[in-house]
A and B are shown apart, each in its own frame.
Chain A
Amino acid sequence: MSVRALWIISHDKGEAGTVRFSRRYATVEHRAKLLAGTHYVAVPEDRAIPQLLLTELGLVEPDKPYVAMRDDCARQQHSPAVELRVDGPGGRTLWPVLTITQGKLILACLPLVEAPLEPRPPLPSLASVSHGLALLSGLQGFLCGPAGKLPEPEVLASRLAALPSVLLRICPLGTPLDKAPQSGVTPAPVAPSPGGTQKQPAWKAGLHRGRAVVSVALTEMVRSMQYGNRSRQDLWDVYGTVTCKCEVEGVLPNVTVTLTLPPNGSPLQDILVHPCVTSLDASMLTASSIDDSDGSAFSGPYKFPFSPPLESFRLCSYTSQVPVPPILGSYQLKGEENQLKLNVGLKLHESVKNSFEYCEAHLPFFNRNQMGNVDVKVSSGQLEVSKEKNLLVWIIGQKFPKSREVTLDGTVHFSGQLPGPTDPLCTDLTAYIKLYFRVPDLTLSGCCVDQHSVQVYSSAKSKIVTSRELVSSEYYIWNSTGDAPVSSGLLML
């Protein structure tokens, strides 16, 4: 359950990588040597690591179309672990190196193999692998935050500088004890333990004092692929997360959050819960997106009793199959010499609240010259042409008109001098519209957290705040006159 070494490497396109942070665990290495015997492969020095790792990740020599060391078709990476060829091709290898790539940053660690190395043991038989993955994803969260975007260089540098003290707490000797805190948060000072016999949870460094406030936020993301074509069935699905922040007194206070569905709502599937949930009803876990859901499945209420940690956390997540997509679109292109005739229609489903925070449709054009004359009319909202002249942005705004339908018609001429961006998927008439929208106070599955259903077992009366929202994610409408790529095999069978 230990890791031998840990690296954080940054690389810019075309440049060799640099080790930004590294940690070697000498006692674990000592064990690795004893366990592996003659099969032991030492960890190379830090200066050699970036080149070895970038080769395996296919990132060296980006300008050369084919490099034998990098591009061999038979070298199937047994992801998520790669092997480093420390002795060059055909030589001995260091395995298993786990990696997480986040933009220009690569996080990597080398878990200890506590099994005979020959023949190579399967990855799932090694305890250290999941510990290594958890360690890396924790560090990723610490360095980059929940948004998963690389912070500014100075912020990143200061977080990297804080790593030694974080590792002292979460992984002092190579065996992880905890995950790193989110986005550079330094651990809260430890409050003195109450004299009682109740043991303080290790995931809760202190105690809350003061007014009790519980906030529960429900966010649903909707994905869709619409083809407007009989041979390709349209797809859409929803996944949701419930995020809580509980400021409640006591060492192990009890809180219960209940999710309810409307009558005839389809059951929540693939439910994942936070480890602080104390008990689970078996029937809640049975619904799965890979099964045919039958009508008899459990459909709530979903009770989650738990004892909250101090920080904000994801109580649970689910997926759901909803009967209709919130916005149904059609997109038709007709191509003539250097120009395209566009015909777009979007219809907001009647069950969806017509009150957006924002709603935009993006129409990108690839593998063509820049746009010249744009002769397009919209029935509602405004149309903008991007600065690069390869994208139409249709700002529909906060509301659809009463008819709940909007249209866009017209012709775009690609008479610009410069070639626009390329995309190997979107050739000829293969093109898409991508929708971006957010609707506050709505969930598509109908799932909701009633303020009154949140129970806090504590002496003081607590304030409860709940919220919900629907946000688009990967919401595509493909041109029905083109050849759209298949996005899921599920319906093909």
Chain B
Amino acid sequence: MATANSWNQRLSNFLQSPSQFLTCTTTDSFLTDLLHELRDDKANDNTKILLLSVLLEHPNVLCPTVSVGEETVQDLMSILTHAPQKSVSLKCHLMLTITNVLVCTSCFTSKAKVAEDFLDLLFQTIQDTNDHRGGSAHYPVRATACDCLREIETCYPGLLSQKLEALYQFKQQETTVLHQSYCLLFTLGLKNAIRHLAQQKDVADTDLKNLLTGNEGLAWKCIDTQLSIMFPFNLMNQVPQLQTGGDCKELRSIMTLLLEESYLLTPVSQASLLRELVEIVAMVPALSPAIFKSQLLRLFGTGEVELLHVTLFMKGAFTDSLFSAEDENFFLKRLVGMAQHPLLTIPEKLFYMRCILHFPENRPISSHGEECLPVLVTPRLAASLLPTVFNDSNTMLCRLNLLCLVHLEADEGEEGKGLGYLFDHVIALLKIVDNHGNREMTVTSFKAVFIFLMHFYHMEKYSEKLISKVCELYSKNCCLAPHLINLVDRIQESLEDSVWASQLFKALQKSIVEVSLSQLTLQNLSWHLKILGRVAKENKIPQRNTLYFLLNVLLNSSLCERGSWQVGNAILAVCRNLLKHPTLNQVFIELADLLQYMSAHYEDTDIQDHARFYYTLLTNLSWEKLSGVLAKGADGGQAKIRSLSAIMAESDGLTNCLTIHQTDQPVLQLVKIQNQESQKSTTSATKLEDVEKQGALEFYQEQFLTPGFASEVTLQYILTYTEVNDSLFDRIFSICLHFDLKDSNYAEVSDICVPCLFRDRKPPEVCLKLKPRLPYPTTVNVRAVFTTEDGLSWHTQLPDVTVSFPEVFLPLPLPPGTSHVLKQDVFDHLWNAMSSGESNCAATSLFCFQIGDSSLNDLIKSHFESYLISEQLEQNGCKVLFFLPPKFHVLLKIEQAEDSIQVNIATDNWELLPHVNAYLLNITALSNMTPSHI
């Protein structure tokens, strides 16, 4: 059916977005196609591996239930057992896929037979140590089998806990490169088994011994172990301790051997192995951490990030029982050195800087988990990590953050040299911005200023200098206004008592109002207005100068004559904030003058109107009322949301003008009206006589020449409230419903307007008219915009509306009252045409199920009644026709056979068959019958 190339395209579409892909097909049919192609002997291995990747990466999408998972695994297992010996890579991928499907569809937890079979197969595979049977070509298969078992044991810790003896033997026997896989598998099994043992209450000395010599079946009792109680040891949680009095001789010798052989593992696997061993020693008090001593030097000298990381893990686990004070000092120095080593990559160095901040000290002062500087990190030790302008942004910011902590901790005071260096560095960055550094540099510099201030805002010498530097920078680069506003916003959020922010604003206000008109460009003015608008929100800053500046600009420039709406709007935005300012009475006259002047002289009607409106508000309302009116919509902490009466800021687009609030949760929903048969007919005005005159078929076919004939499906819903009960929405008006289709199978749906919805009245009905291009099931995303009683506009997301396959069914589109004889005539013609095999798209199929006599009638009545072609139930069955807009048909002949009901299906679009199948399965399952496929 599909060539390798078309599969390539389909699979890459799927991987890019499974949800989008599945709007055009069902998971069921896609999975069937996949498995069919996998069983095809003619397809080559590479194609099959590609097909498996879909199942490998998205098993839950394709196998939504345990039973589908089981069936799929059964199919894959049979493909695996029948795969030719030489298809090594395919076999590996099959094993990986089966593991993924089994784990993700919970086949293990339900202890499905296939899961047990697969585990048996894996065990058989790994028993062939050193390839006595399979030969060396078999290597990858064995390696994969080990990996699969290791992953299963990771997902279900303890499952292999009764097989440690066998696993140990395999590990010992294997001498090829695969011993790594066996070694990792055994160690993981051992750790999990000990963890289980340690969690038990009364542990006898022999229990541990039994564990190591156990060679029984799988420990299915462990399958329900919660993964989270197996969290690896870390600073935040405590490991359970195995309380045994025994000397653990066997365990100790196993551990020693594992450590000795660790050198033969790849560095990445060494790190994994060491982590497991550290956890074991941490759980078994009878084992001394000193067994790691011999490895330490090798680990200290390594340049591999994962090995150094595991050393850090050891340090955290054993502190001074493994690391002396000298070791600790050395280790920390080593970390600092590596955080700036010229031969390591940037991400590694950044990681080491994080490690310094979370260094597990032998004698920690603060609590665990927080970022905290080890006492040993002094300004002197960290000097090599001082940031420079040559660092990349990430490194520079990380270093700055670290060094700020170092110098804050060192408490050198304002005169400290290190602190001076850091400050000079921040100033150097601002200078680069001043010299037109690129965008990244600008962002980095403001981040650096933020970091510096977060640590040293209390040092007046620096914070004051920084204010003058930033002001200077702004006066030369006004386009930095949004960065500055962002900086101040964040500083105010983080440091509530900081006076720095308002000092900066004061300084900025001063520098702006002092600009002479001759130097002022329109572009700079709009940035200045942005800053002044934000300054006007600061309750403690006097606003008189701002007003004088604005008045000066308006009176003495050509601004009013030019009448730029945007500039006018920006000025009004400042005014709006001034109206809310607590010192409004001090600038009352000036503001009134300004508004009056604008309303009279500004060459833009809209601006004039708004200015007049504000003027009216100002002169008629007390300040309390005024700020109450203007603050409306800003409650609930959403300071950025303004009500409709607000004036948009200069930079906002027109869409923002209609400020719309967002509901936290859906407040509305569409509920399907179940009984809606009468609505479904696609009425036609033609007279019945025409039908009889012309002949039914010809008449029927001619109808389709009329554009738009029978192309719509009308679905009825009521618009009602969800369970969210907010009295704010008890009465809502002008509800506009907007529909977004999630696929291209349907034409765009136009918006629907509903005048109002009251909680205490009958909910209104909504007709959704869908025009299918291809009549597949679909999901429609619904949004609504509405107005509440207080005049605010709201936007809410409604729960998705799903349109199921049968909802798209229409009865045969013939005029009402057409006789059954004529309908039968059309049916038979269509049936013959579809089953003739002339059309490529047409197809026939058969569906069987078992049922009692009476319930067949019930079934037909409840599901097919409006689609019946024959007037009454014929003796042995009936004919059913579903018309699917725009021009498709599904015809059913339902017949009572000896022991089952047979449904013969014919359609003019074979792609509908999976949906028909799913539909029939669904309705027959609902009636509690047992379907069977042919």
Contact = CB atoms under 8 A, between A and B. Distances in A.
A37 B228 contact: yes
Interface residues of B, number: 142
Given A27-B100, A168-B89, A77 B394 contact: yes
A271 B298 CA distance: 12
A175 B268 CA distance: 10
Interface stretch (B149-157, B200-208, B674-682): B149-157
B290 interface: no
Contacts of A121: 234, 236, 369
Nearest to B234: A125
B334 A288 contact: yes
Q: Pick from B147, B343, B442 the residue with the most CB of A within 10 Å.
A: B343
A420 to B, nearest CB: 14
A70 to B, nearest CB: 8
A130 B306 contact: yes
Interface string B308-339: 11101100100000000000001001101110
A190 B350 contact: no
B270 A275 contact: yes
A427 B148 contact: no
B8 to A, nearest CB: 12
A210 interface: no
B421 A492 contact: yes
Given A47-B17, A270-B341, A288-B334, A176 B441 contact: no
A193 B175 contact: yes
B343 A272 contact: yes
A134 B304 contact: yes
B740 to A, nearest CB: 16
Given A76-B447, A119-B369, A489-B386, A71 B305 contact: no
A153 interface: no
A22 B394 CA distance: 25
A151 interface: no
Q: Pick from A30, A168, A199, A488 the residue with the most CB of B within 10 Å.
A: A199
B57 A485 contact: no
Contacts of B17: 45-47
Given A58-B440, A422-B436, A173 B303 contact: no
B15 A22 contact: yes
Contacts of A177: 147, 180-181, 184, 266, 268-269
B15 A35 contact: no
Contact of B18 (A45, A173, A280, A489): A45
A470 B542 CA distance: 65
Contacts of B235: 125
Contacts of A37: 228
A487 B333 CA distance: 22
B307 interface: yes
Contacts of B397: 76-77, 79
A204 interface: yes
A199 B99 contact: no
Given A26-B58, A78-B354, A199-B264, A130 B309 contact: yes
Contacts of A284: 301
B394 A175 contact: no
Nearest to A286: B330
A123 B354 contact: yes
Contacts of A204: 177
A392 to B, nearest CB: 22
Contact of B432 (A190, A289, A424): A424
B872 to A, nearest CB: 51
A147 interface: no
A73 B487 contact: yes
Nearest to B479: A65
Contacts of B446: 71, 73
A275 B267 contact: yes
Given A62-B439, A122-B371, A177-B269, A493 B383 contact: yes
A280 B301 contact: yes
Interface in B422-468: 424-425, 428, 432-433, 435-443, 446-447, 449-451
Given A133-B347, A134-B268, A199-B261, A485 B389 contact: yes
Grouping DSSP codes into helix (H, G, I), strand (E, B) and loop, the A interface class, with mixed when no group exceeds half, is loop
Grouping DSSP codes into helix (H, G, I), strand (E, B) and loop, the B interface class, with mixed when no group exceeds half, is helix
B355 A124 contact: yes
A79 B20 CA distance: 33
A200 B175 contact: yes
A22 B18 CA distance: 14
B11 interface: no
B154 A31 contact: yes
B351 A125 contact: no
Contacts of A317: 303, 343
A478 interface: no
Given A26-B60, A46-B16, A490 B358 contact: no
A74 B180 CA distance: 46
A164 B389 contact: no
B421 A115 contact: no
A383 interface: no
A239 B342 CA distance: 7
A131 B155 contact: no
Contacts of A178: 266, 268-269
B2 interface: no
Contacts of A169: 140
B177 A202 contact: yes
Contacts of B104: 26-27, 29-30
Nearest to A62: B439
A100 B443 CA distance: 20
B521 interface: no
Nearest to B232: A114
A200 B417 contact: no
A119 B370 CA distance: 10
A179 interface: yes
Interface in B266-317: 266-272, 275, 297-298, 300-310, 312-313, 316
Contacts of B450: 73-74, 76
Contacts of B174: 199
Given A73-B450, A275-B304, A270 B337 contact: yes
Nearest to B180: A202
Interface string B518-556: 000000000000000000000000000000000000000
Contacts of B269: 177-178, 202
B435 A427 contact: yes
B151 A73 contact: no
B268 A488 contact: no
B417 A493 contact: yes
A155 interface: no
Nearest to B369: A122
Interface string A158-179: 0000001100110011111111
Nearest to A47: B17
A14 interface: no
Given A177-B269, A179-B268, A488-B388, A123 B351 contact: yes
Interface string A110-129: 00001110010111110101
A424 B369 contact: no
Nearest to B435: A424
A27 B107 CA distance: 13
Contact of B130 (A122, A190, A193, A319): A193
A212 interface: no
Interface in A342-392: 367
B227 interface: yes
24 contacts: A1-B272, A19-B16, A27-B104, A46-B15, A99-B347, A123-B354, A124-B309, A127-B275, A130-B310, A131-B306, A134-B267, A168-B89, A173-B148, A179-B266, A196-B175, A221-B342, A273-B303, A275-B302, A285-B301, A290-B336, A425-B432, A486-B424, A489-B383, A493-B421
Task: Across the A-B interface, give the 7 residue pairs with the lowest CB-CB distance, nearest first.
Answer: A489-B386, A272-B303, A130-B309, A202-B180, A424-B437, A80-B347, A74-B490
Given A74-B493, A269-B337, 14 more contacts: A26-B57, A65-B439, A73-B483, A79-B347, A79-B350, A125-B234, A168-B144, A199-B174, A199-B261, A272-B302, A280-B301, A488-B384, A489-B418, A490-B386
